[in-house]
Amino acid sequence: MVRKEIKLALVYRDMWQSSGKYMPRVDQLVRVAEPIIAMGCFYRVETNGGGFEQINLLYGENPNRSVRDWTEPFNKAGIQTQMLERGLNGIRMSPVPKDVRQLMFKLKKIQGTDISRSFDGLNNPQNLALSFQYAKEGGMIAQGALSLTHSPVHTVDYYINLADQYIELGAEEICIKDMAGIGRPVSIGKITKGIRERHPDIIIQYHGHSTTGFSIVSALESARNGADIIDVGMEPLSWGTGHADLLTVHAMLDDAGFRVADINNEAYMETRAMTQEFVDDFLGYFINPQNRYMNSLLIGPGLPGGMMGSLMSDLENNLASLNKWLSKRDKPTVTQDQLLIKLFDEVKYVWPKLGYPPLVTPFSQYVKNAALMNVLQMEKGKERWSMLDENTWGMIIGKSGKLPGELGSEIMALATEQQREFHEGNPQDLYPDELDAYRKKMDEKGWAYGEDDEDLFEYAMHPAQYEDFRSGKAKENFEVLLAKKKEEAMHTGGTTQAGMGVAASLPQQVELNIGGQLYKVDVAWDGAQVSTTEDAKATTPANNNTDLKEILSPLEGRFYLTKSSSEKALKVGDSVKKGDVIAYIESMKVINAITSDEEGIVTEILYRHGDDVEEDEPIIKLR
């Protein structure tokens, strides 16, 4: 009897995103391509998509050059390359105009990407229709991904019918995307079988994170019921919040009677060693050790492995801020484990209230952020839902499409109280074309559009990050962040080879604002201050009037006076009432509106648009 062939896909991008915050640099990716190819067992490799290009920008790397250089060796070897895109959100966390989406597919095919795995965070077919259309027009294979989750509304029949709708709209392949690893194996088998029976010739690809332990069984159930391709990770980044390991999946499928391509073990060891080298070089500083473990506690909240890296980073930062707040008020502090359990419990509470959005990017972040802000606010004695970010509100009122479930009564009451208007039309209609506006901006700055308009695309897709990339600010910020991580590792006993001699790369000068006067301070990292010199550029002297009222930042992040160019920024002399939106803080990938808890006249705005701000620090003064 001829054994059915099961093909394997290496999710090299997702391996990193599921483990930590950053990806290897392009020079590292190009180096590891050859041993991956030499392994001889991969039919496909996931090369880009998701947050890949934003990370390039944060490094100060040209993201489009990275895609071209990284995909080229696979193209030459005949291995298909695939990317992950978020439908209405493209490859960012917020909705994208049609013309930018269309350019993305055309450009990514030119740059060497063969397959677009398109998913919608709410599983709205309407939001993916253009993705399938534009992918095929651009010459890519259009794959529709079913975002799996486990809830009363997400049944086996729900997903089989969803696949029907995707295929009718133009999807040429189907991916069963179990981003949280909480899909029950038998149900995944039934979903696969249902799709296969209705669509005998469609390619079905299974993608599952190993976070809770289900995925290895789910891969087998999916293969037995008609899947053609299984996504795998490999050491040192398999398991944990990542993906089932290549060697385990390969041996399991072989034993189950499937035909799988042989693995070149020498090339495997080279790829494994090189990946570990990247971890040791600098990427390990951004990987929380907890992400290397599987965690059955996540069966309850259902949070995905792909966001656990950023979740643990957010948790660490917010824990420090919360404990600082508690200590200042002589209250007992909390541990990371205590905060984590509180967060998981709160996710289980808020998820149904928010209409059961599938817990996948960006909606997993919205649910997690809403839950985390609730926990933090309640720890401070405030009401639940007192800090709900603008991105989550956009989801609630329909700016991303219809939610699978009904909104909770307390959310509806809050929407009424805040006079939020619900949108029931096509979400894409809310986001008009923008390429011409970005062409004009680039013309004014004297910036070229780039090969195949790739710089135009990048600017329109990631405006703030692209400007920081062009100015060099992004690279400077990343180098400071990396130096900080290395210094922390040295002081906590976590020094690696990459952390040796870090003092030389730390900032040698900082700026301090003392009494309204700006000073530059030279720093020696053995703790000794070298010298202090006054900068000629002094800020406006601080007003020492004790009657001034301060508005404090409720969280740490990046301070913005407006969230769009059409909005009028607060300025000195403006009158502010309690409850007025006075500014915004970007934190945990979402925009939080900051409302005033005081009233008065603005006498001073302590931060500039785009500055980083700490929690509980004054941001605006009133009298």
Residue 565 pLDDT class (50, 70, 90 cuts)? low
Residue 283 has pLDDT above 60, yes or no: yes
Choose the weakest-confidence range: 25-29, 459-463, 484-488: 484-488
The reply to whether omega before 362 is within 30° of 0 (cis) is: yes
Q: What's the confidence (pLDDT) of residue 260? A: 98
Which tens digit of pLDDT belongs to each residue from 325-366? 888 888 999 888 888 888 889 988 999 999 999 888 788 888
Name the CA dihedral angle for 318, 321, 322, 324, rounded to a multiple of 10 degrees: 160
**Looking only at Cα atoms, what is the longest distance across the chain?**
88
Which tens digit of pLDDT belongs to each residue from 571-601? 898 888 887 888 888 876 677 888 887 888 9
Helices (H), 176-307: 185-198, 215-224, 246-255, 265-281
Which tens digit of pLDDT belongs to each residue from 139-189? 999 999 999 998 899 999 999 999 999 999 999 999 999 988 999 999 999
Residue 553 has pLDDT above 80, yes or no: yes
Helices (H), 407-462: 409-417, 435-445, 454-461
C-alpha triplet 190, 196, 201: angle, nearest 5°? 165
124 and 89 Cβ atoms separated by less than 8 Å: no
CA atoms within 13 A on the CB side of 226: 21
Mean pLDDT across 479-485:
91
Q: What's the confidence (pLDDT) of residue 558? A: 85
Signed CA dihedral, 608, 610, 613, 617: sign only: positive
Distance of CA 76 to CAs 7, 136, 259, 467, Å? 19, 22, 25, 33
Question: β-pairing, 173-178 with 141-147?
Answer: parallel
* 303 three-class SS: coil
Give strand pairing partners of 586: 558, 591
